[in-house]
Structure 1
Amino acid sequence: MAKIIGLTGGIGSGKTTVAQLFLASGIPVYITDQEARNLMQSEMILDQIKDVFGTTVFEKGVLIKEKLSEIVFNDANKLAQLNGIVHPAVKMHFKQWLLEHQKDQFVIYESAILFESGSYKECDFIINVVAPLEIRIQRVIERDKTTREKVLERIKNQWNDEQKSSKSDFIIENTGIEAVKLEIVKILNFLGIKQIKS
C-alpha cells in the first residue's frame, strides 16, 4: 500500500502549486478541494446541505456556492457543519482512489484542513506550506477577486502556521518557485523517491 504524504498550508500559501510540482515529479496527487467540489454535485450531499442550510443557498434547485461560502466563512460553527457533511464523503472517495494507487510508493493527499479534519492521523508524513501573511492575502485577493477583510476572516478559521508546522515533518516556505523546487528535491531525496520527470 502506498504511503500517504499529507500536504497542507493556510489559504494563499501556494500548496496547490506545490502539489502540481509533486505531480510533475511522478507522485499521484489527490486534491481534496477539487474532489469535494465534484462530490458536492451529488444528490446525497445536496440533500444534507439543504437540511442544514435551508433553501436560501439554492436557486432553482442549484447550489449557489458563493452564498454558501458567504455563510460558512463568517461563522465557524456553520463551517464545521459543512465540513461534517463533505469531509466523510471525501474520506470515502479518497479510500477508493487509494486502492487505484496501491502500487505507488507514495501518494500526496492535499488538504487545507488536514489538521482541523483529523485527516493528518492517516498520513505517514506531513508537509506544511508556509508563506508571509501579506503575500498570502494578495494571492487570495487576486485569485478569488475578494476583499482583504474576507481573506482575513477565512485565515482566522484555519489553524495558524505555528500550529501546523509543529505537527509537520517538512516545512516548505513558498516565497518563489525556484526555492520551492529545491525544497521538493530535498524531500524527495530524504524519502528516497527517484524523480520520474525532470
Structure 2
Amino acid sequence: MLRIGITGGIGSGKSVVASVFAALGAPVYDSDGRAKWLMAHDTRLREQLRAAFGAEAYDAAGQLNRPYLARVAFNDAAQLARLNALVHPCVGKDFAAWSAAQAAASRPYLLKEAALLYESGAYRGLDGIIAVFAPAGVRVARVRQRDVHRSAAEVEAIMAKQLSEEEMLARADYVIYNDDSQLVLPQVLALDKQFRRKNLE
C-alpha cells in the first residue's frame, strides 16, 4: 500500500485538497488534528507535557491549555523544539497504528496530511510527497478571511517559520497548484489514478 504525504504552507489549501482525496475513497490521516487529540487524551503525553511546561499546560478541568502553550512555546525556538520532541514521536506511533489498520483493510493508498511534514521528519518512510502550492499573497488573503482575528503581519510571521515555498516545491514528488488559476479536481483525479495504478504494479 502506498503511503503518500501531503503538505503545504498555511493558507495553501492542503486540507481542502486532502478532503477531495478523501471523497474519492482515500483514507486521510490528519496529523495536526491527531496531535491536538493526543495532547488532550494520551495519558503519557499529558504527563510529559505537564513535566516539561508545568501544571498550567492543562486547566483546572484537565483540558489542554492551548493559549498558554502557544504563548510559552511558539515565540521561543527552544521551547517549541521541546514541545515538538514530545508530540511528534507520539503522532508517529499513532500514524503507524492507523496505517497498519488501513493496510489490513486492503486500501490502495493512504494520505498523511501534515503542515510540518519535513520539519518533523514525518516524510521519512513515505512513498511520495504532494506539495499544495499557492502564492504567498493568496495564502495571506485566505488566512485573513478565515481567521479574522489575525493581522497580515501575524500570518506572514507564521509563514516565515515554515519551510520556504521554493524548498517545499523542490523536495516534493508531486505538486498540486491551488492558486485560483487551475482547477484542483482534475489534478487530484490524475494523481488518484496514478496512485491506484502504482499500487497494482
Q: Same fold (TM over 0.5)?
A: yes
State the secondary structure of the residue aligned to 1:108.
strand
Deviation per CA, 1:119-145, whole angstroms, max 9, x where unpaired? 112110110011111221222233333
In structure 2, the residue matched to 1:125 is: 128
Identity value in percent: 35
Identify which of 100, 113, 116 aligns with 1:110. Answer: 113
Checking the alignment, whether the CA contact within 8 Å between 2:4 and 2:112 is kept in structure 1 is yes
CA gap of 1:51–1:153, structure 2 versus 1, over 3 A, is farther
State the secondary structure of the residue aligned to 2:154.
helix
Letter in 2 for 1:128: A
1:177 CA drift (Å): 9.4
CA gap of 1:56–1:142, structure 2 versus 1, over 3 A, is farther
1:151 CA drift (Å): 1.8
Checking the alignment, whether the CA contact within 8 Å between 1:6 and 1:120 is kept in structure 2 is yes
1:178 CA drift (Å): 6.4
In structure 2, the residue matched to 1:65 is: 66
In structure 1, the residue matched to 2:176 is: 172
Structure 2, unpaired ranges of 5+:
none
1:77 CA drift (Å): 2.3
Query: Quick one: distance in 2 between partners of 1:66 and 1:134?
Result: 27
In structure 2, the residue matched to 1:30 is: 29
Query: Quick one: distance in 1 between partners of 2:20 and 2:182?
Result: 11
CA gap of 1:82–1:10, structure 2 versus 1, over 3 A, is same
Tell me which moved more, 96-105 or 50-59. Answer: 50-59
State the secondary structure of the residue aligned to 1:30.
strand
In structure 1, the residue matched to 2:7 is: 8
In structure 2, the residue matched to 1:196 is: none
CA gap of 1:115–1:34, structure 2 versus 1, over 3 A, is same
For normalisation by structure 1, the TM-score amounts to: 0.89
Structure 1, unpaired ranges of 5+:
194-198
Tell me which moved more, 154-163 or 59-68. Answer: 59-68
Deviation per CA, 1:131-176, whole angstroms, max 9, x where unpaired? 1112212222333332222222221221111111111111111123
In structure 2, the residue matched to 1:191 is: 195
Letter in 2 for 1:80: A
Does residue 50 of the first structure (1) align with residue 54 of the second (2)? Answer: no
Does residue 96 of the first structure (1) align with residue 93 of the second (2)? Answer: no
1:116 CA drift (Å): 0.5
CA gap of 1:82–1:70, structure 2 versus 1, over 3 A, is same
Checking the alignment, whether the CA contact within 8 Å between 2:7 and 2:132 is kept in structure 1 is yes
Query: Quick one: distance in 2 between partners of 1:101 and 1:3?
Result: 11
Query: Quick one: distance in 1 between partners of 2:188 and 2:99?
Result: 22
In structure 1, the residue matched to 2:79 is: 78
For normalisation by structure 2, the TM-score amounts to: 0.88
Tell me which moved more, 168-177 or 153-162. Answer: 168-177
Checking the alignment, whether the CA contact within 8 Å between 1:10 and 1:112 is kept in structure 2 is yes
